[in-house]
Structure 1
Amino acid sequence: MNLLLEKTDKIRLIQEGSKLPYDLLLLADETIEAIDKYIHDSEIYIYEREGETLGVYALQMFDGESIEIKNIAVSKTCQGEGIGQRMLLNAMEQAKDRGFKYILIGTSNAAFRQLYIYQKVGFEIYEVKKDFYTKNYSQELIENGLPLNHMLVLRKQLND
């Protein structure tokens, strides 16, 4: 898989006050209310091809040495093309260039594909937030046929 951007592809920071791509953000988070809890304190990057937004990720400062990817999503029609990995690598570059030591990302206990991709680019499981989904969402959430219970937080050291 070629992880270089195609000639017509670009990843860019969207300006504050721009329309947010909720259709894509909702692929990685369950509700607009959940997204709104973090999105306005985050930097939003979009992946574009020929003017069409195909992906999005949100970065938020976690603490003085860590930054967190709060949301990362790729249009269903473009999944499997390497766009997610390109955005992950871009997020890691952004964090490293700004002097952060670690980058974090959280996902559910049932997000097999995401867990594979995150570990493939060097993230390691760092923390388990027990019962995160059952405590924070009123309805039961299902992914890959399994109930979402725990959030797995993965971390990657950036100064290797």
Structure 2
Amino acid sequence: MEITEVHYVTPAHLELLLEADPSKDLVEEYLDRGTLWEATITGKIVGVIAIIPTRPETVEIVNLAVHEDYRGQGIAQELLNYILNEAKRSHYRTVEIGTGSTGMTQLYLYQKCGFRMTSIDRDFFVRHYAEPIIENGLVLKDMVRLSQDI
């Protein structure tokens, strides 16, 4: 697997990004402000991760998605580890990430990679998304914020 920075967002990138975040407006907003990387296997895009700087020494992972045919193979963990190293190399001290409170797989992965829960943004998804998001059979309302000092 190869991880490289993306300089031109293709429909394949956008499709993956929208799997993790159904708001095209929000996705386009943070792509304008941040950096996108792709994971490829034999030329096929199998995962993406996007970050934006939020404060002087802090960067936030705003999107992480893996193509459904490649899930469960450690790609998300490799993308996270790559970004943690990239952030450290770029002299950031903290990496943050937010995820839905109903995303048990994501919460497990982020903690496995060293992130710690810092707060809950109550009703985040109610405030920022016009349509309800259903995840694991529950209406998603709250965002769990996690961070890691690097």
Task: Say yes or no: does 1:123 pair with 2:99.
Answer: no
Aligned residues: 149
Q: Which residue of 2 aligns with 1:146?
A: 138
Report the alpha carbon displacement of residue 18 of structure 1 after superposing the two structures with TM: 4.2
Tell me the distance in 1 between the aligned counterparts of 2:45 and 2:10: 12
Identity among equivalent pairs (%): 31
TM (normalized to structure 1)? Answer: 0.90
Matched AA of 2:106? Q
Structure 1 counterpart SS, 2:118: strand
If each structure's helix is expressed as a fraction of its own residues, which one has the higher value?
2
TM-score (ref. length: structure 2): 0.96
| Letter aligned with residue 42 of structure 1 | G
- Deviating beyond 3 angstroms after TM superposition, the runs of 4 or more aligned structure 1 residues are none
- Please list, as runs of the form range in 1=range in 2, the aligned pairs for 1:11-160 lying within 5 A after superposition: 11-15=3-7, 17-19=8-10, 21-158=13-150
Deviations 1:56-111 (A, max 9, x none): 00011010111010100000000000000000000100100011111001100101
SS in 1 for 2:78: helix
Instruction: For 1:54 and 1:18, locate their aligned partners in 2 and report how far apart those are by CA, in whole Å.
Output: 14
